[in-house]
Structure 1
């Protein structure tokens, strides 16, 4: 199947996951995440606000706040088309002080953005992933451009529904930034990142 066709199919499948299934999936993912040493030791965690059927992050964000961890959300920088990371407080999050980006996702309304290397752990969405940690996103390239400027840090952890993990090898372009690990509701995978990525 062509990558463009696969993208379209997975987008549609992801959007049609029921709210009930999303809640169950989010709980299973959090249960696995809590066991990760990289999560336990991380103090500065980059997350995302779900908007397109991705694994919901509300439970993870609230758990981070409860554990005293600092939560950062991405903002697209129009100058270089990279993501900067804005720390949010529990009050900001719960009062939903977010702006709607033209691409459909919500962003923090205020605060100074930090470089991605400030984070200990980056938890990111994806459209598909293969057994080698190749991550295919929505096509904007924001995470790839951002992570190209930070090799060693942060630890890169993808979240996905089971249907988004593919056994077949996906094509990896020179600019694609692979994952260190992936969590789905039923599995936890770690990958070896090759030097240069």
Structure 2
């Protein structure tokens, strides 16, 4: 049985093709809910071990971006926490930025962040910098709910990262970060989906 079939299991029917958007939308929602529940349920022991492995590989992947502007994410609903790896890049001269949802259906805005920045709760109660000019990161470290072997990402369904990457004046490099349990056979990519260049898991 494929990974998609196992995860979809008792959920929505599998799409017949990549053009069956209503079924794909339902399948993505059911798969997303299931993967988030699995991620939240990771044991403390496994989370620590897996996160340590991810952190080592992520640190190596970030090395070429010392001194550059890196966009990352504040962990949410059991996501891998990238703050340690990213904060250490500040010691290498990198600047860091976090996403801000200004309006649904619009691209994200990135604002610079450093430890001690004044934060407010944004959409879904995710902390974000209270103020600051918009910046355009050279690299985006992107959270994953699910992903497939072609680098396509299953996120939270808002399309923010695809919309943001497409709207940037220069396309940033992209690294997706998440746990191996999110690996899927396919997410049934659509024309608006933009594949990530690299994906890092504990494996």
1-structure distance, mates of 2:169, 2:188: 21
- Give the structure 2 partner of residue 101 of structure 1: 122
Separation in structure 1 between the aligned mates of residue 79 and residue 104 of structure 2, nearest angstrom: 27
- Which residues of 2 match residues 1-197 of structure 1 at below 5 A? 1=8, 2=12, 3=27, 4-36=29-61, 39-42=62-65, 43-78=68-103, 81-92=106-117, 97-114=118-135, 118-150=136-168, 153-166=171-184, 168-186=185-203
Root mean square deviation, CA, Å: 1.9
Please list every run of 5 or more consecutive structure 1 residues that lacks an aligned counterpart in the other structure.
187-197
The normalised TM-score by structure 2 is: 0.79
Indicate conservation of the 8 Å contact 1:75/1:113, yes or no: no
Aligned residues: 176
Question: How many angstroms apart in 1 are the aligned matches of 2:197 and 2:45?
Answer: 29
CA distance in 2, matches of 1:69, 1:102: 27
3-state SS of paired residue (1:81): coil
Where in structure 2 are there 5+ consecutive unaligned residues? Answer: 1-7, 13-26
Asked if the contact 1:51/1:104 (under 8 Å) is kept, the reply is no
* Residue 20 to residue 68, structure 1, CA distance change in 2 (3 Å): farther
Name the residue aligned to 1:192: none
Q: Under a length normalisation based on structure 1, what TM-score does the superposition of the two structures give? A: 0.81
Contact in 2 for aligned 1:157/1:181 (Cα 8 Å): yes
Q: Which has the higher helix share?
A: 2
Higher Cα radius of gyration:
2
1:28 counterpart SS class? helix
Aligned-pair CA distance for 1:138: 0.6
Aligned counterparts of 1:170 and 1:80: Cα–Cα separation in 2: 21
Tell me how far 1:64 sits from its aligned partner: 1.5
Give the whole-Å Cα distance in 1 for the aligned partners of 2:51 and 2:89.
Answer: 14
